[in-house]
Each structure stands twice: as structure tokens, then as C-alpha cells.
Structure 1
Amino acid sequence: MLQESAAPTTVRMFPDYADTVLWLDGPVDYEDTDLSSGLIRELETWERSYYEALDADFNWKSPELARAFIKTGIDLAGQVANELGAEFVIEFASDETAAPTYTVHSRRPADNEGASTAFSTIAEELEAEQKRVTQLVAEAGPNAEWTAYAPLSGDVFTLERKAPQAEDRD
């Protein structure tokens, strides 16, 4: 768990085709959250309503649908905040141009200690990974070469070689 004096961890809430609306450094699977099943169902329903409210060009079908999405999002952010407690801040912003960001922060202990613990664990793992990467960067020195490996294709990408060409493949 985070220390009481530590700044709260921010959980962002938005749909983005990841089968979850909850994000820390990346999407957070509902099965990893220990949130109440009722709240998870509401989050899933809210996400579906978003996709159903958009037309083929990803514009809102109506202003009413946009307003309903925002209102429900704010309500759900409050429910997530209450389950997670004071150690977390929930941010929600609609993807409309110039839409405000709504921030919800419970000032009381978690209503769902299991969910609070699950999110704390995920946040601590992400922080540990960031420290590990920072250490690797420092140890690599200025002449290190950075690569990315695509395990399914076996391709290796470097800064000089952005994408494999057809003649590079076996």
C-alpha cells in the first residue's frame, strides 16, 4: 500500500477499444481490479454505450448521447473513487474537443479494500518497472543501441531500421 503522505495515484477512465475503461500506465483488466461485480458491469455497459453513441465517422450521433455519456462517466468515476479510497484520484474526460477533465477523489478510506489493494499492487509494479528501466538506461551509457523485438515475426527494429523490408525476410 502507498504511504499516507504519498500523492494519490491517478486512475484514468475512458473507453479506447481495450476491453476496459480503467487505465494506469496502460489498460487495467477488470479481472485484475477486484472491483465489485456490479461496478464492473456498469463500466462495461457505459463503454458499450459510448461505441453505440458514435456514428461511422466517430462523431456523437446526438448531443443528448454525449451529455448522457459524460454524466454517467462522472457518476462512475465517483463510484470507482469510493471503492478505491483516498489513495487514488480518478480522472475522466470525454474525447470531445475542449472537453473538461473531471477529477474525483474520495476523502475517506476505500469501500472495497480488495480493489484498493489490487490497484496499489499494480501501481507499485509499474513504479518498480519504471525504476528498472531508468537503471538500465543509466547503465547502458551514451553509446548504447536501443532495439525492439517483435516475437511473432522475429523482426528486430533499431533507430536506423524502422521497419523490415520484404527482402529482409526469410
Structure 2
Amino acid sequence: MPGETTDEDARHETIRMFPDYADTVLWFGDGPVEYSDTGLTAALIDDLQRWEQTFYESRNGDLEFVSRAAEAAHAEEGVQLAERVSAEVGPRFAIACDSVEDPTETVLLRAERPAENPAAEAAFACLREELIAEEKRTAEIFAESGGVWVAYAPLSGETFTPNLGSGHSQDQG
């Protein structure tokens, strides 16, 4: 149906927010996104970093929140920050974060107005295109391998087929 969002589209358009020992709370595609790659305003980045720090400070030795109140406060601040991220990147991207009412549930936020920060919108659009290109390249490598298991290192472009020995660059064909 025209205009309908598929699961694949949603994956390419959803920014997830959660602390996970990656020096960022922003996740896109399969991994964390460095703040320097987001185009977000410095004030918002500072608040995201502070929110992540409070996450670690509000946990005990078993990595559980010290209280339900601390957990709820953290989730509430997370939703507020997700709203700010959403406002900066605009309606093209949804922001997923933990629900305040139920930490096992995810809230999905999407701005109703154009991006307040065109640089952030453009940065995530670029990340989206890179993600799609990488997935396409991975599918091509799999197809070229005839279904044989192949390891691919995207940063170097090297592939390695275990039973055939050393790898080769994608440029070498």
C-alpha cells in the first residue's frame, strides 16, 4: 500500500535511545552512533551524556536500579530527551525509548513538525543511506558466495572464506 511503512523501513528510520556502555545512548541500525556523527545541538548532547551518567550512578552492584523511583525518574527523563531528539531530527525518524509506566515496554515518538535542526536530520539521513548501502553490499557478497559462509569486514572491504584461505578486497573482485 503506498505510504505504508514496512518493518524494514522502520528499522532504517528508528533511532533507539538507551545507555549500554557504548559512550552514547543513541543507536541506529545495528549499533551505537557517536555523538559527533549526529548533528545534534551541543546542549542536547550534553544532556544525553548526563542522562547516561545518571543511569550508571542510579544502579547498585548487581546493575539493578537502587529503587523503582530511580528507575521511573530515569525513564521519565529519557522520554523527555527522546522528545527533544525527535524535535531536532524531525518526523522522518522515530525515536524509541523505554516507557515510564512499564520498563519492559518501548515508547515510539515521532515529531509532528519539520526538523528543528536540519543538520541533525541530514546526519541521520546520511547514516540511513550508509546503513542501506552496507546491507546491500552484504547481500551482494552473500549472493556472490553462492550461499557459502563468508566473513566481511566493512571498514577494510576484505572478505574471507574459511575453506578457501586468505581474504580479498571487494575491489579485487
Question: Normalising by structure 1, what TM-score?
Answer: 0.79
Residue 85 of structure 1 contacts residue 108 of structure 1 at CA under 8 Å; is this kept in 2? yes
Aligned counterpart, 1:11: 15
**Are 2:87 and 1:82 aligned?**
yes
Instruction: Show CA shifts across 1:26-83 (max 9, x none).
Output: 1000011110000000000000000000001011111111111000000000000000
**Are 2:77 and 1:72 aligned?**
yes
* Structure 2: gaps (5+ residues): 154-159, 164-173
Return the structure number with greater relative CO, CA threshold 8 A, min gap 6. Answer: 1
**Are 2:46 and 1:41 aligned?**
yes
Instruction: Show CA shifts across 1:81-113 (max 9, x none).
Output: 00000100000027xx86210111002110000
**Are 2:100 and 1:126 aligned?**
no
**Helix, strand or coil: the match of 1:60?**
coil
User: Which runs of 4 or more aligned residues in structure 1 lie more than 6 Å from their structure 2 counterparts after TM superposition?
Assistant: none
Q: Identity across aligned pairs (percent)?
A: 39
**Are 2:143 and 1:99 aligned?**
no
Return closer, same or farther for 1:147/1:158 CA change in 2, 3 Å cut-off.
Answer: farther
Residue identity opposite 1:70 in structure 2: A
Per residue, is there more helix in 1 or in 2?
2
Aligned counterpart, 1:21: 25
Cα distance in 2 for residues equivalent to 1:88 and 1:66: 26
Residue 148 of structure 1 contacts residue 158 of structure 1 at CA under 8 Å; is this kept in 2? no
Q: Which of these two proteins has the greater Rg computed from alpha carbons?
A: 1
Cα distance in 2 for residues equivalent to 1:98 and 1:92: 9
- What is the count of residue pairs matched by the alignment? 148
**Are 2:143 and 1:138 aligned?**
yes
**Helix, strand or coil: the match of 1:11?**
strand
Cα distance in 1 for residues equivalent to 2:103 and 2:72: 14
**Helix, strand or coil: the match of 1:133?**
helix
**Mean alpha-carbon deviation: is it higher for 28-37 or for 4-13?**
4-13
* Structure 1: gaps (5+ residues): 150-155, 160-170
RMSD (Å), alpha carbons:
2.5
Residue 138 of structure 2 contacts residue 152 of structure 2 at CA under 8 Å; is this kept in 1? no
